[in-house]
Amino acid sequence: MSCVGAMSLRQGFAATQRAVGFPASSSPKAASALAASASSSLWGDGKWSGAARANFRGVCFARGRYGACRANSAREVSTGPSIVTQKQGAQEKGNKKKDEALQSELRLYNTMTRQKEIFRPIVPGKVSMYVCGVTSYDFSHIGHARVYVAFDVLYRYLKNLGYDVTYVRNFTDIDDKIINRAKETGEDPISLSARFCDEFHVDMAALRCLPPTLEPKVSGHIRQIVEMIKKIIENGHAYAIEGGDVYFSVESFPAYGQLSGRSQDENRAGERVTVDSRKRNAADFALWKSAKPGEISWQSPWGPGRPGWHIECSAMSAEHLGHSFDIHGGGLDLVFPHHENEIAQSCAACADSSIRYWIHNGFVTIDAEKMSKSLGNFFTIREVLEQFSPLALRWFLIGTQYRSPVNYSKRQLEVASDRIYYLYQTLADCMQLLSESSPDSQPASKEVTECVKGMKTAFFTAMSDDLLTPVAVAAFSEPLKLMNDLMHTKKGRKDKSRIASLRLMVNEFQSLLEVLGLSVSSYDEESCEEDPQYPQLDQQVLQDIKRLALKRAGLTEEDLMAQVQERAGARAAKDWERSDVIRQNLVALGINLMDGGDGTQWRPAAVGEDESVLVK
């Protein structure tokens, strides 16, 4: 959907950039490059040294990789007003106080006011949130994944802060696109939509998005929609025309344009705004559409028909959250016309209608163009998950601050897969070691205690500053390195506080990863009964990442092992040139070999520097 109706995509991108606080001069590609640059500086280039391979059994990156957060680069990811991030190490007292304040107060960027604001819900301790859902007529694409992962993180963080959250996310199951697709397939429109609602749930579960509190469907709210339209007409803001259509009168609502910053002169018919010579104004939009022959319809005071797109969310949000609630969210493309029209409808039906915070996530782009079905440059979530782990896709999405555009490429997914594998393999090794160790003999060391404290402070400071997830995950780098040092270096293995230190770190990681939807432990009844204090990482995650790496490389496990054996033979014969060729050929395919005391191991790795986009 075009973000500004009949405006061009690029004009729309610039307009909505201004609305959500992203510099209008920045292109989607340039903004994504900023985010990628920051991510690279935070996590390092992912290369391995010989010492790391030998000592860390293919788990730990060499010193300096996945290093401490570089605060200046991290700030580049943020958009809008300047932020404060906590550097690791000594800080001036003034900056420390600012960081502590940020940690205690959640700030969110409000599209309506065009600034970050301290979050204060209408009812203390309770949060009401409505996020516009999908129009369910096809499989969802990764633009949808961006929206719902972003708001899942917000949902999780609000819950982590102790709020009782009512999260409503709707399904549009009545729409022109659904009707047209049903005609093509010969299905009932409602049945077709229900089928793709189920498919959407499968995708969301794979991406570890928590189920919302409520998921209303338009087809179950026709009565509420009709009643709201009647009220809007009574209040003088809508009119019925011959034939049974009802339109909202944009001119009757002087505040129209307050969210998007558009003037009345800019409004004209566009996408999902019916072109109809019977309208009083070209910008007037449909509240009720009269039935066409053979189409699904419901009875109304204006004759048989069905709701317009915009009125659906106004009616469903009012039904489940009331006319005033805390957060209304969605993608950047919904600022205009959808959310602008929602405001007009809701206020026309109830003068006391208000939303405290309007929150919008940035686009997923390909070559500086918004990814969308209408442009034909989209990839479904299913297509991506055929080649990458769902957790790699989730990591990729949270690797950019939610308001910034994120440029999709195969290279970026490979990097995300590499990072998530390193994280999970480190935690898996730690959990395994803890399960085999005797009870703690000493408490965690001061170094580890301070490291964990710093990680938590940096994490919550970043999350409370408009969900600055790239900086939040950067806080993991030093603790992960320290964990690997304790597990795999001679000095670490001699540390008497080793077990207690590792237990402290893995427990803290568990709680922080849960906030991001990346929790790692898997409990079964038998293991819990034997020893409930030792969680075990779900090994299937690591196995899936490796399986998909082999798939992308076009190799089977047998093919890879044959090359490993050939390389071992070359090394035994001191044919170093042949050994290096085999190794480099595998690196080019995304397979990294590590030689250590326990033989040669392999792990997935990002492929070269190729920025090519995933090819269907």
More confident residue, 95 or 402: 402
Asked if 357 and 119 touch (Cβ cutoff 8 Å), the reply is yes
Residue 132 C-alpha from the chain's centroid: 15
- Is pLDDT above 50 for 253? yes
pLDDT of 537 above 60: yes
Q: What is the pLDDT of residues 335-355, one digit of tens each?
A: 999 999 999 999 999 999 999
Q: Which residues pair with 298 in a beta bridge?
A: 305
Side-chain-side CA neighbours of residue 212 (13 Å): 22
Residue 520: its pLDDT value, please? 77
Q: Which residues, in sequence order, are bridge partners of residue 289?
A: 306
pLDDT value at residue 90: 40
Residues 609/411, Cβ–Cβ less than 8 Å: yes
| 540-557 average pLDDT score | 95
Examine the pLDDT at 111 and tell me if it is beyond 90.
Answer: yes
Q: Is 538 exposed, middle or buried (0-12, 13-18, 19+ CB in 10 A)?
A: middle
In the structure, what pLDDT confidence band is assigned to residue 281 with cuts at 50, 70 and 90? Answer: very high
Q: How many whole angstroms separate alpha carbon 38 and alpha carbon 72? A: 9
How far is residue 458's CA from residue 446's CA, in Å, rounded to a whole number?
18
pLDDT in tens, 128-153: 999 999 999 999 999 999 999 999 99
> What secondary structure, in 3-state letters, does 452-470 show?
HHHHHHHHHHHHHECCCHH
Ranges 84-93, 457-466, 591-600, most confident: 457-466
Query: Of 48-62, 345-359, 502-516, which gets the smallest average pLDDT?
Result: 48-62
Give the pair of three-digit tokens for residue 247.
């339109």
pLDDT of 315 over the 90 cut = yes
- The 10s digit of each residue's pLDDT in 398-422 is 999 999 999 999 999 999 999 999 9
380 three-class SS: strand
What was the pLDDT predicted at 276?
75
* Tokens, residue 603: 């792990």
Least confident segment among 85-89, 106-110, 160-164, 426-430: 85-89
Q: Which residue has the higher pLDDT, 3 or 215?
A: 215
pLDDT computed for residue 206 by the predictor: 96
CATH class of 410-521+536-546: mainly alpha
Query: What is the structure's pLDDT at 100?
Result: 41
pLDDT tens digits, 440-496: 778 999 999 999 999 999 999 999 999 999 999 999 999 999 999 999 999 999 999
Among the ranges 50-59, 72-81, 503-512, which has the highest mean pLDDT value?
Answer: 503-512
Average pLDDT taken over every residue of the chain:
82
pLDDT higher at 525 or 465 = 465
Q: In the block, which residue shows the tokens 């994944």?
A: 145
Verify cis geometry, omega within 30 degrees of 0, for the bond prior to 211.
no
Q: Which two tokens stand for residue 524?
A: 């079964």
Task: With a cut of 60, say whether residue 86 has pLDDT above it.
Answer: no
**H helix or E strand, kind and range, residue 526:** helix 525-530
Q: Does the pTM of the predicted model rise above 0.85?
A: no
User: Tokens for 613?
Assistant: 């986009």
Q: Is 324 helix (H, G, I), strand (E, B) or coil?
A: strand
Give helix then strand counts, H and E, for the chain: 23, 17
**Percent over 70 (pLDDT), the chain:** 76
Which residues of the chain does CATH 1.10.730 include?
410-521+536-546
β-strands 246-248, 285-290 pairing = antiparallel
Q: What is the pLDDT of residues 366-386, one digit of tens each?
A: 867 777 777 778 899 999 999
